[in-house]
Amino acid sequence: MKGQITFSQWVPLMEEDCRKHSETSGIRLPENFSINKIFGEAISARKLNRPILQAALTLRKKGFKTCILTNNWLDDSPQRGILAQLMSELGPQFDFMIESCHVGMVKPEPKIYKLVLDTLQANPSEVVFLDDIGTNLKPARDMGMVTILVQDTNTALRELEKVTGVQLLNTATPLPTPCQLGDVSHGYVPIKPGVRLHFVELGTGPVVCLCHGFPESWFSWRYQIPALAQAGYRVLALDMKGYGESSSPPEIEEYSLEVLCQEMIVFLDKLGISQAVFIGHDWGGALVWNLALFYPERVRAVAGVNTPFMPMNTSVSLMEQVKANPRFDYQLYFQEPGVAEAELEKNLPRTFKCLFRRGDEDPVLWMRKATSDLFAGGFLVTFPEQPSLSTMLTEEDIQFYVQQFKKTGFRGPLNWYRNMDANWKWGCKGSGRKILIPALMVTAEKDRVLIPEMSKHMEDWIPHLKRGHIKDCGHWTQMDKPAELNQILIEWLDADVRDPPMTSKL
């Protein structure tokens, strides 16, 4: 059974070996001695060496082949979910993974190192082998591989830098790995006759629904989807109504927040999900705060990215509030059906290159003041005919959005802006309510529209609110500062959403 043994088979064999050794050595074992308990606690406390993992990712991006070689059993223990999560996180990050329990060999047997060479299709002199156990390095070294003992992480990384010639220490915050279009499963939920919602899905665990804003797509969460899934969550990133492969009915009233929230509840019902975490950006943020306000029993926790929660002012209509704030003049330009559609659909690549920019790249668009000829010449008139590509996007990214909006146009997305009176009347019904569920507000320093100051009174209405703030970040936070956003979201989810760990009773 060597190398292909289950945990439940291995434990009694190991305990028997310990008893025999105790008898022959004269060392007395404690009365409560338990291999199962010792290893259960060790497994629960096991953590990834993040700097080493990041070094492997950096080397892989530089063209190195990477492989994980593990000594592990077929885990049928009560803690087996921990190993499953670990392996599901590591697997996609490497070119190859060799697990002893599936190949019938273990380190330090020489034949498993030969398997590594065959898998990598490499000569020993081309391989750098790292391990935290010295005896596992000797066979690799004897074969001619370069070996590095990992006891102190920084020391090991300095050795790896010398061998590979690649800088691995003191590097800038790396860009997270985005999900590839083929990595995610696609789903479609019928909401009502003529309306369906499309989503992509990755991961297992507590459900997290990601709701994008204008004019975006599920693809705007491409850097968050793998990170949240690897952190132990079931991620559902939606094409919001009017976008992508979701339905895009032309009627304006189909896009009121009341209707959109009702349809999100149907979305949960059709998937058999009793509660979900909702994270929203821009218009998606407005949606998720209203879900928390009107359907708190279905919202496990809620987070707004850039979009603050602002209780409805029952004395002044929403339209009047917008007219009084020059920062939102563009929303007035969006009111007349057909006008903004014609401009934004005229040249889709230009539209997205104009809109998707970092906070310090082209702020002038958002800072125009109201005039009698509001947005004369168009919404994008201040931009050149051939705008440069923002540093936070690739041409391939732009083409994805172009293809999505070729399907739907801008009518549905713009209709989200055309329900101000309906949204005000519905919002007033929640006047005076507080949001008492776990909540997070993430502000972005250089968002020119949803400025951080707009969130300053949120604690009055959300007493348990937690906060994150991202410096040098504009409106498109998910792709402007993805690593920083991922860290904030995962730390909050792990603290406020994660199921309590299960304790084995064996």
Residue 55 Cα to chain centre, angstroms: 21
Is 502 within 8 Å of 194 (Cβ atoms)? no
Three state DSSP letters for 393-415: CCHHHHHHHHHHHHHHCCHHHHH
Q: Which of 113, 255, 401, 417 is catalytic?
A: 417
At 144, the amino acid letter reads G
In whole angstroms, what is the distance from residue 472 CA to residue 340 CA? 30
Model pLDDT, residue 87: 83
In whole angstroms, what is the distance from residue 311 CA to residue 235 CA? 28
Task: Write out the two tokens for 459.
Answer: 């604690």
Alpha helices by DSSP H, 46-98: 50-61, 80-90
- Triad 352, 355, 360: Cα angle to 5°: 135
In whole angstroms, what is the distance from residue 115 CA to residue 134 CA? 20
Q: Which of 75, 223, 475, 480 is catalytic?
A: 475
What is residue 470's DSSP assignment? E
Q: Give the burial string for 237-265 (b: 16+ CB within 10 Å, else e).
A: bbbbbbbbbbbbeeebebbbbbbbbebbe
Model pLDDT, residue 3: 59
Question: Quick one: CA torsion of 481, 484, 488, 489, rounded to 10 degrees?
Answer: 50
In DSSP notation, 248-271 reads ----GGGGSHHHHHHHHHHHHHHT
Residue 246 Cα to chain centre, angstroms: 21
Hey, how many other C-beta atoms are within 10 angstroms of the C-beta on 436? 12
Closest CA to 73 of 83, 86, 63: 83
Task: Write out the two tokens for 338.
Answer: 């057909």
Distances (CA, A) of 285 to 282, 305, 338, 443: 5, 6, 25, 12
Is 398 within 8 Å of 349 (Cβ atoms)? yes
Is 208 within 8 Å of 277 (Cβ atoms)? yes
At 272, the amino acid letter reads G
In whole angstroms, what is the distance from residue 446 CA to residue 78 CA? 47
Task: Write out the two tokens for 379.
Answer: 């919404």
Distant-in-sequence, close-in-space partners of 460: CB < 8 Å, separation ≥ 6: none
Its sign, for the CA torsion 244, 409, 215, 299, is negative
Q: 167-176 — which CB contacts under 8 Å span 24+ positions?
A: 168/54, 168/55, 168/58, 168/59, 171/58, 173/483, 173/484, 174/54, 174/57, 174/58, 174/483, 175/223, 175/482, 175/483, 176/223, 176/224, 176/226, 176/227, 176/482, 176/483, 176/486
Helices first, then strands: H and E counts in the chain: 20, 12
255 flagged as catalytic: no
In whole angstroms, what is the distance from residue 38 CA to residue 20 CA? 18
Model pLDDT, residue 361: 80
Model pLDDT, residue 35: 80
Q: Which of 131, 282, 329, 447 is catalytic?
A: 282
- Triad 227, 240, 478: Cα angle to 5°: 35
Residues of the chain with pLDDT under 50: 1, 363-372, 501-506
Is 225 within 8 Å of 200 (Cβ atoms)? yes
Report which secondary-structure segment, H or E, holds 39. Answer: helix 35-45
Distant-in-sequence, close-in-space partners of 85: CB < 8 Å, separation ≥ 6: 232
**pLDDT tens-digit series, residues 404-434:** 999 999 999 999 999 999 999 999 999 999 9
Closest CA to 108 of 77, 158, 145: 145
Distances (CA, A) of 97 to 66, 102, 116, 251, 462: 9, 11, 9, 51, 45
Closest CA to 224 of 284, 291, 269: 284
417 flagged as catalytic: yes
Model pLDDT, residue 54: 85
Residue ranges of E strands in 212-330: 234-239, 276-281, 299-305
